[in-house]
């Protein structure tokens, strides 16, 4: 009978479709034992639904978002991988955007409906797999996106990659050092340089004191010992402690735990602890001043803590 297929082949087709979120390619069907006539018969009968050239949805035409991404990659042939915005979406570092699905191919430049094809080399160390889908690595994805995103959007993507433990800024910086020939790598390097540098103690003090003065605060004590901790800036009358951190993105769990313990100790003693990065002091002084001005004046609280020995390193 036209379009006949044994149950073993049918089971293999369904299993493959399940692994690929509901889609299969014509080449895969041929490899699994379906002939050309059998495939065309099932298309006519509504059992296979063309969704891209040579790619079919099995059983029903509606695809999940992941199925749509899989279909886009499969339609572009061997070696293709999701990239740019589509890769960022699959990796979880950017929310889904409208528009075509980005796919990078190493040869040819196939036109596919709903697919934006990029022709570029994609070495093995710049590609990975998520949910069974070939996708550019997080470093390659960020480099590809860097020239297209605003500074804030790029910074948000780097932060999200760090939060998801896909890569931290230190490893990202090391990785892009090998990709200097690409414009996106230079853009990310400038971002990391701006957001992860550390001012010298004297430069930081000079800049921060100018901001505090503009915010209407009196001159604070610097490098004072409060509640057993050495703090960067301290206003006893305002019961305010300000700490500054050199790194914008990444602090180890141990560092974060120490920071929380310091802040909790200050709060328990009736102080208001604030934290700013060195980059905020340099590049966002109005934000720092606004926070300082908005900090509530002290109410009836315990008397200021007596100076104590600094924390043991």
* The pLDDT value given to residue 7: 53
73 and 135 share a domain? yes
* The pLDDT value given to residue 5: 53
Residue 212, classified by CB atoms within 10 Å of its CB into exposed (0-12), middle (13-18) or buried (19+), is: buried
Regarding beta strands 48-52 and 23-25, do their DSSP bridges make them parallel or antiparallel, or are they unpaired? Answer: unpaired
Number of domains in the chain: 3
In a domain, 114, yes or no: yes
Give the mean model confidence (pLDDT) for residues 173-191. 82
Instruction: Please tell me the distance from the alpha carbon of residue 136 to that of residue 50, in angstroms, as a whole number.
Output: 26
User: What residues make up the domain containing 277?
Assistant: 201-294
Give the mean model confidence (pLDDT) for residues 56-83. 92
In a domain, 31, yes or no: yes
* The pLDDT value given to residue 313: 40
In a domain, 53, yes or no: yes
In a domain, 309, yes or no: no
Give the mean model confidence (pLDDT) for residues 67-80. 92
Half-sphere exposure of 233 (CA within 13 A, CB side): 28
Last residue of a domain, one of 195, 228, 259: 195
Residue 278 vs residue 182, higher pLDDT:
278
**Predicted confidence (pLDDT) per residue in 19-54, tens digit:** 888 999 999 999 888 889 989 999 999 999 999 989
Contact by Cβ (8 Å): 257, 173: no
Two tokens, residue 92: 């979880």
* The pLDDT value given to residue 189: 86
* The pLDDT value given to residue 193: 75
- 33 Cβ neighbours under 8 A, 6+ residues apart: 5, 6, 9, 12
Kindly report whether the global pTM for this prediction surpasses the value 0.75. Answer: no
What proportion of the chain, given as a percentage, has pLDDT over 90? Answer: 47
In a domain, 13, yes or no: yes
Residue of 212, 183, 179 whose CA lies nearest to 281: 212
What proportion of the chain, given as a percentage, has pLDDT over 70? Answer: 86
Give the mean model confidence (pLDDT) for residues 155-167. 87
172 and 132 share a domain? yes
For the chain, the average pLDDT equals 85
Instruction: Please tell me the distance from the alpha carbon of residue 152 to that of residue 231, in angstroms, as a whole number.
Output: 30
Two tokens, residue 13: 């087709």
Residue 82 vs residue 206, higher pLDDT:
82
In a domain, 300, yes or no: no
94 and 59 share a domain? no
43 and 139 share a domain? no
pLDDT > 70? residue 172: yes
In a domain, 220, yes or no: yes
Residue 146 vs residue 256, higher pLDDT:
146
274 and 210 share a domain? yes
Angle at which helices 138-145 and 169-176 pack, to 10 degrees? 70
CA distances from 19 to 8, 32, 50, 183, 286 (A): 17, 15, 18, 37, 52
187 and 77 share a domain? yes
Domain of residue 51, CATH code: 1.10.10
* The pLDDT value given to residue 109: 63
């Amino acid at each position: 009978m036209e379009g006949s297929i044994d149950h073993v082949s049918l089971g293999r087709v369904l299993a493959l479709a399940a692994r690929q979120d509901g889609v299969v390619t014509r080449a895969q069907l041929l490899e699994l034992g379906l002939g050309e006539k059998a495939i065309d018969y099932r298309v006519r009968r509504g059992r296979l639904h063309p969704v891209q050239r040579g790619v079919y949805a099995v059983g029903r035409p509606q695809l999940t978002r992941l199925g749509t991404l899989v279909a886009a990659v499969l339609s572009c042939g061997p070696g293709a991988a999701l990239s740019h915005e589509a890769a960022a979406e699959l990796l979880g570092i950017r929310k889904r955007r409208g528009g075509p699905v980005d796919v990078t191919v190493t040869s040819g430049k196939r036109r596919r409906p709903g697919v934006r094809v990029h022709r570029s080399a994609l070495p093995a160390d710049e590609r990975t797999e998520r949910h069974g889908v070939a996708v550019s690595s997080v470093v390659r994805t960020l480099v590809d996106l860097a020239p297209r995103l605003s500074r804030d959007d790029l910074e948000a993507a780097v932060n999200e990659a760090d939060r998801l433990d896909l890569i931290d800024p230190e490893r990202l910086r090391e990785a892009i050092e090998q990709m200097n020939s690409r414009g996106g790598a230079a853009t990310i390097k400038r971002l990391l340089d701006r957001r992860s540098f550390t001012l010298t103690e004297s430069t930081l003090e000079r800049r921060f004191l100018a901001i505090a003065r503009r915010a209407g605060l009196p001159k604070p004590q610097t490098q004072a010992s409060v509640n057993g901790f050495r703090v960067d800036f301290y206003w006893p009358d305002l019961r305010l402690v300000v700490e500054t951190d050199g790194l914008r993105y990444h602090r180890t769990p141990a560092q974060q735990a120490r920071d929380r313990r310091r802040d909790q100790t200050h709060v328990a003693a009736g102080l208001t602890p604030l934290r700013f990065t060195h980059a905020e002091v340099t590049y966002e002084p109005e934000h720092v001043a606004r926070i300082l001005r908005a900090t509530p004046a002290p109410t009836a609280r315990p008397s200021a803590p007596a100076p104590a020995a600094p924390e043991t390193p």
